[in-house]
Structures are given as structure tokens and as C-alpha cells.
Structure 1
């Protein structure tokens, strides 16, 4: 037998280190788990944000605000106006909801009344179905045309029209207008409508000016 070699000895197989690949696989599993968790957190945050922005701006505020939708208006321009008036929380959430609900191409012209107490889905539903709203105007019995120091504040016709959402300019124009009615046959030219506005509650189309409310009051005299 050759010198230095033991009879019956066998050549040993080389040892391979299997620990490193095992650690590598664990590291990849940790990475994948972390990425998956991050994606879940992002999705959860996105859902929370979207759900929150569908809620009313203020459930306790039922004050109505008027929105006029004309030819050529889009949901994008309407969303901007709604946000400016404090009726929706976020324009992007509005855009997403109209796309998901399939109502993006169902905008109708008209005059709509909304309040901060309405949710975004309620507002979109009303917009897509078309608005046929009325304004409610309450003239108090014995009220003056404009605020008077001899009467409790807020009981005049001007304030009543403002509460109904009419602009100050349109109210001034309506109160200064000459009306063609037998009621005013003996009314001196240039005098106010003092004494001609019958105190009651009137419902008039929202797309008409304050003249409609005044004419309704004149008809009761």
C-alpha cells in the first residue's frame, strides 16, 4: 500500500454550508411580509380617507345653499363650487365617487339646494337625478320692508329673503321694481312696498328670483 495512506480509508465528501441560503430565504420572507404589510396599511389609509370624505361636512348645519347648474357645466366645475361653498369635504373624493357610481355623465341643469348636513352620495344622487327645488320664504306678519329700529331685528322682508338664499343685489332690485297689479293701483309712485307684503310662508321655484316670493305675498293681499 502506498506510504501515508491507510488501507480501507475513503475519500471524504466536501461539506457544503447550507446555513447561508436558509438565512437568505428568511430575509426575503421578511422583506415580502414587510412590503405586504405596507401595502395593506396604504390601502387601509386610502379607504379611511375616502370614507371620511363621503361624510357630511357638518351634520348639524342644515342651512341650505343654492347651486345653479348651467349648460356646459361639468362635475369637475360643480365639485369646485361645492367645495368653495363648504358642502363637500374634498374634490378628489367627489371625482372618485362619481366615476365609481357611474353618475359622471348624468349631470342635469337646474337650481339645486344643498346643506352641509348632506353626505357626498346624497348630493351626487340629487345632481344626477336633476333638481326641482323650491325656496321657502317666511314673511313675518307686521314686518317691515327693511330692518327698523322700532321693530325687533330680523323680522323684515329683506332679512327673510336673505335667509332664503337670495343675493343682496337681487333683493334690492326686486324691492325697487314696479309691479303690474291692481293691488298697486293707488300706490304713489316712488314709494316702497311697505304694507303690501302679506305675512306668511311661501314656497317658490328655486330658479326664480325674489320677485316670485314677493308676487306670492301680493296675491294674498
Structure 2
């Protein structure tokens, strides 16, 4: 009897101890779970805070590239926010909308704005309210179409504190070129390193007027800004390039020929058709600007003996495109290279008035020479 009572007592103690252990286990599980939940909530809150904080900051505080943004009449806040996001001026359209509503801002004006990725949300809002560019540039730099790197170097020397030699040293520096390939891989590829190319970055410094907001921008910033603009322009043609199985390098090379052949009244699309037609039948392009680039000097008139210069750029002695661009091409020439007129022309010439005359046969071309140039 006594033994039975003792056994029951031991069994009871055992169950109490077991329940205590189970309680501790449950409390431990609850504690760990609660801690995990708190940590997850903390991570989510921190991630959300970091994202919102980042979205409230400029897209690129160091950017000086001017971006044209059109806000149509009657645009809603949602439309404006989406337009700014599509143009890369803000990081997140929703955050911009919430921030604008939080600040109780409204009465934005329609119009064409020149903005940069370095603008704060307050600066963007101020611009949209006043209809003016909020940030005034310290100075502007205009790089015309059709310039070679050596000619751009003279523009830089004339308008900045940097010499032409410093500019050429920068744009031909191997490390800088590799950095640009790494920064803009969809625009600048290993094609620019091909051995026959005179200057790897020839044609990659986009012709435009640039606004700088730093009193003393570095040479790196000036050059990178021009390259960044090229990247921004050509990315808009990615689908066409893929459709034509054409690389950016080939596009800029082709466009540079059109740019150098162009006069104020030139039909670039039709000239492009002549070049494409010649390429199809393996006929040399025979464009004088490539001869001048091969010679490395400017001439008012290309002589017959010049046409024989041995150079991978001389399209009188090679078939197809030269190894790289011979100048910087503007948007008009780039679009003409992608959208040539459908013709059967193989020849063209510009008369003394700058008007182009096209021909399907060499006989017609000779007649045009006789009619318009003699």
C-alpha cells in the first residue's frame, strides 16, 4: 500500500516536472517566434524606410546632363509623376505623388522643361509650379554635330580651364575607356577596342548643349556627361537595332558618315539608302569625308591622289563601313541610319547650292555631274 502511494506520488512529480519542461519549451518557442516576428517587422520597416528615403533623394546627385521633359496640358499628378519617372528624373512615381500631396503642392504648369537627374524633389516641384527651370546652370557648353574628338578638344580648350591635350589624354586613356565600357555596357562595347580604330571613343560624345551646375566640373564629369547623353539617346532605338541586327557601334559609324556628308538641305534618309544599296552589292561607299578622316586633315577639295590613301577608314579602298565613327552624329543622322528611304539609288552629289541629286546608274550620275557641277 505504502509503495503504491509512493509510486503515485513519484508519477505525479514526474508529470509536474514534464509539464514544467513543456511550459519552458512552449515559452522558448513563443519567445523565438516573437523575436523572429519582431526582426521581420524590423527588417521590413527598415527596408521600407530605406526605399522611401532613397526615393526622396536625387536620382544622380552628380549628373549634369540636361533632359527635356514635356508636360502636356491637362496632365494629372499621376501622369506628371509617371512622365518624370519615365525620363529618369525621379526614382519612384508613387513616392513623388505621396510627397507632393504631403507637401500640399498643386497647380503644376504644362510645358517643356529642361531638368537633370541631380534635382531634388523640391526643386522639381518648384520648376513645375513656376514653369521655369529651378536650377540655373553655372555655364553651358555647346558641342556641335559633325565634330571629331580632336575638334571637340578645341571646343573644350576654348570654353573650360582644360587644354586640348588634357582632353585628348583623358579620352584616349585605356583605364578611362575600360571604365566607360563598364559603366555603359549596352552602348560602349569591346568593338571600340578593335585594332584599326584611331580613337576608341570617337563618335561617342554626343553633340548637344550641356548645362553644368558645378562651378568647376572635372574633365571626367564633362566627358562622362557627353557619353551618358549618347547612351540615353541610343537606348531609345534598342528595338530597331535588334530588328536590323545592328550594333550601337555600327549605328554610330553609319550615322557619322551621314553627318559628314550632310548639308543644311541634305536628305539624310535618301543618302542612307544609297549607302545601304552599295553595301548590299559589295560596292565601296566612296564617301569623301572618310578620306579626309584617313588623311587626318581638312581640305576644301579632295584630290584624286587622296582617294588612294591606304587606311581602314578610306571607303574608296575598303568595302562596307569604316572600323568606327569619323565624327559625332546628331539625332537626325542616327534616325536616318535606322530609317532609310526605300530607293534604288547608287549615286548622289550635292550641287553648288547644296541640293542633292541622286542617280540609279553611273551614266545618270555622270549626267548629273555635267548638269550641276560644270
Provide the residue aligned with 1:97 in structure 2: 99
Q: Specify the alignment match of 1:67 in structure 2.
A: 69
SS in structure 1 opposite 2:69? strand
Change beyond 3 A, Cα 1:132–1:124:
closer
Q: Shift of residue 20 of structure 1? A: 1.0
* Runs (5+) with no aligned partner, structure 2: 156-206, 212-263, 266-374
- Counterpart residue number, 2:52: 50
Q: 1:148 to 1:63 in 2, by over 3 A?
A: closer
> 1:107-118, aligned counterparts within 5 Å?
107-118=108-119
Distance 1:33 1:61, change over 3 A: same
Quick check: which one's helix share is greater? 2
Residues 110 and 130 of structure 1 are in contact (CA less than 8 Å); yes or no, is this contact kept in structure 2?
Answer: no
Highest relative contact order (Cα 8 Å, sep 6+), 1 or 2? 1
Unaligned residue ranges in structure 1 (runs of 5+): 156-160, 166-174, 177-221
Change (3 A) 1:89 1:5: closer
> What SS is found at the alignment partner of 2:63?
coil
Q: Residues 20 and 113 of structure 1: is their aligned pair in 2 closer, same or farther, counting only changes over 3 Å? A: same
Structure possessing the higher radius of gyration over alpha carbons: 1
Structure 2: how far apart are the matches of 1:147 and 1:40? 56
What is the Cα deviation at residue 59 of structure 1? 2.4
- Relative to structure 1, the CA distance from residue 5 to residue 31 in structure 2 (aligned partners, 3 Å threshold; closer, same or farther) is closer
Classify the secondary structure of the residue corresponding to 1:24: helix
CA gap 1:100/1:63 in 2 versus in 1, 3 angstroms: same
Q: Is the Cα–Cα contact under 8 Å of residues 110 and 132 in structure 1 kept in the other structure? A: no
SS of 2:31's equivalent?
helix
Q: Which residue of 1 aligns with 2:244?
A: none
Report the TM-score when normalising by structure 2.
0.32
Distance 1:33 1:133 in 2: 50
Name segments (4+ residues, structure 1) moved above 4 Å.
133-138, 146-149, 152-155
In the TM superposition, what whole-angstrom CA distance separates every residue of 1:53-95 from its partner, at most 9, and x where no partner exists?
A: 2222222322333333333201221222222222222323323
Task: State the partner residue of 1:121.
Answer: 122
Matches within 5 A, 1:121-140: 121-127=122-128, 129-133=129-133
Alignment match, 1:81: 83
2:118, 2:210 → 1: CA distance?
A: 17
Match in the other structure for 1:191: none
Q: TM-score normalised to the size of structure 1?
A: 0.50
Taking the TM superposition and a 5 Å limit, the aligned residue runs for 1:67-216 are: 67-103=69-105, 105-127=106-128, 129-133=129-133, 163=209
Cα gap change, 1:5 to 1:73, in 2 (>3 Å) = closer
On the 8 A contact 2:71/2:83 being kept in 1, the answer is: no
Change in CA separation of 1:148 and 1:115 when aligned onto 2, cut-off 3 Å: closer
Whole-angstrom distance in 2 between the partners of 1:62 and 1:25: 59
Relative to structure 1, is the Cα distance of residues 44 and 61 closer, same or farther in structure 2, using a 3 angstrom cutoff?
A: same
Paired residues of 2:71 and 2:80 also in contact (CA < 8 A): yes
